[in-house]
Structure 1
């Protein structure tokens, strides 16, 4: 095989990887099986109501499947393979198969051959957590089911998996009779139901305080040396994870948010997508047995190495050793700025949003002789602010860790900390972005959604960045904080018909038909609190911007607005998840770009 063929196939492979990553989508079944999610949720809620332990069981099923995420854990043994149900971590442990079978049967009646078992497992895990009081998360869909299973992999890959559920005596016997890092009275109470011999299948709750509620009691138990399993107590045993256990014990909301984010990541572990397996449509002669072994091995190792680099460059602990006080420094700077002026929280969130149709801090660059920056682009001019706060934070970080923390990462973290400072839900920010060395005035004008956009224009603008319509509505909810200038809503208050008349009149007093372009009005009725008032205002035809009211104007997004009004926590969770996704839009990593010394100019 000549070199050119190898190169062609190499790039074909990576184009396919791009396709595979795009095949998971929260709206995958929107047209082919629109009632799939509600059907799964109904059955999960019913099962959990009948048996509270079932919530933990369905979560565990997904976890034990998702070191693969292909529903292989559901397969019974056949003549050609031994399934995973009898593997050590699974035997006499996994349950809930009948619930999944029932869901599958109902979904098959609605949409034959459409919804995979792997997706059912993933959604059922989310709905189980929510049913027991946990945070929700958006589940990307489109997995396909495996055609085999691996007993050996299940034995080798799965860890022991616990704030809900129970475990059998055989899994904690050694701990309660031999471990020293266990509360003595706790051990004695367990020994009464788990003798040193026999009673292997006798159950005890993993979280002795609230085993049927998804909360942070598990971590509190670890602090008291009351972790049921040896592997549990290892998380709080004088090691590097003690601090995180302490943090979750005092901040249950942080645990729920981090858990939701981690579950999204876990649900994306090596799913099968496309046509059974993503590489079967390739010309596989590159890997055929009659090709030189050296070529095959070198290609495979390079592929693994390349994929490993790409996937590992953004990490929540990117600065843990190079600048350990980076996040606390950013938070202090943000908290101080927002405390001095609550509106600054919205401004910092907006800065990140307007940068993150790129996520490379290009929005911070001033004009130079070689390019016109983005700050004077239509969606940005007289709109974005907070540059001084970012510069101040950058200056402090340069004193602590010169040349380490990027301006792009500062923007991403500052946006999260701003939302939290104004009462919103936190999320885990992936770090490791680098700063661009140029900016695009034309890109900012063409890519960023405008205040006069119609619903379809909004959908199209976000779709170009791989956001679903649902995620567009969610991110628009960022307008629950902040203000807008008269020039952005003048046409609406004088010309639009889908506006409350008294609301329009009140705004006209401060925004005349001519002049007063920079006079401000709040985007919602509680502009310094991150809540769901924005969506309530839309229901009352009191959206400040034309593009805002488009979300509730007799169109396809009305139902989501209604949902966020009746369930404010779902908005907070969805917003956190959408911000994680937005923060990962096309970042510069590795050796691309630079780490600017000053955020407003290149080095």
Structure 2
């Protein structure tokens, strides 16, 4: 072992690499490796909150500001250095976010128990939960196993964190970008039931806004003068050291301290949610707990991504490199155990690549042209195939991310996604992907992933049918698993109403506008009778002649697999779909919901009269969809056969 051969080194590296990829968070992550971690954190939090009640709100806010920038990775904890600028001095954090010292104390205590085991990111997440409980709020199960980032983003901290002056639409958009629904935005805003705010964050509201109780405004003006006193503090609600629903009652009385607070109850779409929470503490507690779980799962680093910092304020040092230099290594065949570990760590770090539009420029330069030619050939043979390949990409990305999990066949010991309700007898184009994979494998064996082929084929299909193009980011890898249950639960169905559509897309990080643009891809393709029968026989928001014409194709019983065009120009990618919606000729219930007197009517109006705007927006939304949770670096694999995992 002290002098492994190159072959032995390869096997050791492969073994360690395989063991290192723990991709899923678990509430029992430290059950064996550090069983006293959670009680240690809880005790430290209780002590800090007992010393200063406000600290509970500060630790909760620390978690929020961490997760909204790059994900829940403790990037917010990194101090600036001479060569590195972290997030602490960004506008939303500077002289505002606090609690760093409490996290340092907890980290020191946990390190003494289990050195190098418990991440700073997990400590922040658990401390937030324990702070809420310490102030009388609900508890929730924190999923653990996050790792710590080795970088931070000053710019993202400035742009991604919702500020105190945002209006309602901006709040909805900011939370939607993180995959949180409007309801979850309101409930998370309700955590302002604890804590205080600086004068600089509410001065404009108390002096210039009209949707504020005059007596409340006057009382706050005594604390916060028109000029000066920027750091003067005011409680965010009337019971600022108790986690309750008084915040929402304050909003109903026009006593929201921040402009962004009062926007939640100002004659808009969230008034009813505020009403509910103001009278039902149990509902608020349940919903805020669920939303905190969801927020805590935003883009965690797991497996071998990131590191476990020994000091939360700085990235671990490059100890291996300095030791390797001192060791005067001569050949791979004479590596010591220590050097072997260092080489493993170095290779592992190199392996975590990001997506890039030029990913195959050197490794397989003919890949994209080969895919394009095959797609053009398939679409020329059957125009409907363009829509099928586009839909294949959508159904792949919405389940576990854009990882080609949808392509895996069932086996005697494995159930994939193909037989899930939204996919069975509906999703098609698998054979085209197989053909492309075969052609690309002959050019560059083991280089181009099935996930990238699906993404490129979707783009090229749209172009082949007259639609826009877009620049694809490449470098996805293929999953080694699939999820039938997620396919059944996460894919929006044809019977969805508008709120369900907004929620399903928001859960994947899409705005309402992006949902409408992506729905516009129904400008190509066909649908089965079973998916629109209820609409054409039972609904009233449908053109009568249109319904009658579709009833000839789709009888009230039988003919489930009979097909109808999704719009009037089904083999051309255009904006006719939106014009049809205005004429009450949406084929699916979910289609017509986009234009039915609701919040998306204006978006449909715009796209129905402006193809260029639709093309721009749908291209941008497709790029965003293609970036949903890709596997990169050493995660997953490059399948040689898209239908099965390598070696199976």
The TM-score range, normalised by the shorter chain, is 0.5 to 0.7
How many Å separate the matches in 1 of 2:383 and 2:461?
9
Instruction: Compute the displacement of 1:517 (Å).
Output: 0.8
Matched, 1:339 2:473: no
Deviations 1:106-135 (A, max 9, x none): xx98999xxxxxxxxxxxxxxxxxxxxxxx
1:9 aligned onto 2:120: yes
C-alpha distance in 2, partners of 1:547/1:30? 35
2:166 alignment partner, one of 24, 32, 56 = 32
The equivalent of 1:425 in structure 2 is 468
Structure 2 residue 519 is the aligned partner of structure 1 residue 476: yes
2:550 is matched with: 507
Alignment of 1:175-574 (within 5 A): 286-287=312-313, 312-357=353-398, 358-574=401-617
How far off is 1:497 after superposition?
0.8
Quote the offset at 1:298 in angstroms.
5.7
Structure 1: tracts of 5 or more residues without a match: 38-104, 113-282, 289-293
1:489: how far off? 0.3
Helix, strand or coil at the partner of 1:594: coil
- Is the CA contact 2:355–2:474 (under 8 Å) kept in the aligned structure 1? yes
Work out whether residues 27 and 468 of structure 1, in 8 Å CA contact, stay in contact via their aligned partners in 2: no
What is the alpha-carbon distance in structure 1 between the residues aligned to residue 434 and residue 364 of structure 2? 18
SS state at 2:527 partner: strand
Query: Does the Cα contact within 8 Å between 1:32 and 1:111 map onto a contact in 2?
Result: no
- Counterpart-to-counterpart distance in 1, 2:165 and 2:551: 43
Matches of 1:459 and 1:35 in 2, distance apart? 14
The offset of 1:568, in angstroms, is 1.4
Aligned mates of 2:495, 2:148 — CA distance in 1: 37
Shift of 1:36: 8.4
1:484 is paired with a residue whose SS is strand
Are 2:402 and 2:626, in contact at CA under 8 Å, matched by a contact in 1?
A: yes
How far apart in 2 are the matches of 1:501 and 1:26?
46
**CA distance in structure 2 between the aligned counterparts of 1:465 and 1:35, rounded to whole angstroms:** 18
Structure 1 residue 284: Cα displacement: 12
The 2-side partners of 1:34 and 1:306 are apart by 47
Give the alignment's TM-score, normalised by structure 2.
Answer: 0.50
Quote the residue 2:80 is aligned against. Answer: none
Offset of residue 30 of structure 1: 13
Pairwise CA distance, 1:287: 3.9
**Partners of 1:524 and 1:10 in 2: how far apart?**
48
Q: Following the alignment from structure 1 to structure 2, what is the Cα–Cα distance between the partners of residues 325 and 385? A: 26
Q: Distance in 1 between matches of 2:379 and 2:405?
A: 23
Alpha-carbon distance in 1 for matches of 2:158, 2:497 = 27
Would the alpha carbon gap of residues 497 and 295 (structure 1) be closer, same or farther in structure 2, given more than 3 Å must change?
Answer: closer
- Deviation by residue 1:170-198 (Cα, 9 ceiling, x = unmatched): xxxxxxxxxxxxxxxxxxxxxxxxxxxxx
Q: Is the 8 A contact 2:353 2:632 kept in 1?
A: no
CA contact (8 A) 1:314 1:431 kept: yes
TM value normalised by structure 1: 0.54
The offset of 1:353, in angstroms, is 0.4
SS of residue paired to 1:476: helix
Helix, strand or coil at the partner of 1:430: coil
Q: Would you identify which runs of 4 or more consecutive aligned residues in structure 1 move more than 6 Å?
A: 13-31, 34-37, 108-112, 299-302, 304-311
User: Cα distance, 1:314 vs. partner?
Assistant: 0.9
CA contact (8 A) 2:119 2:147 kept: no
* Aligned 8 A contact 1:390 1:410 in 2: yes
Instruction: Judge conservation of contact 1:485–1:521 (CA < 8 Å) in 2.
Output: yes
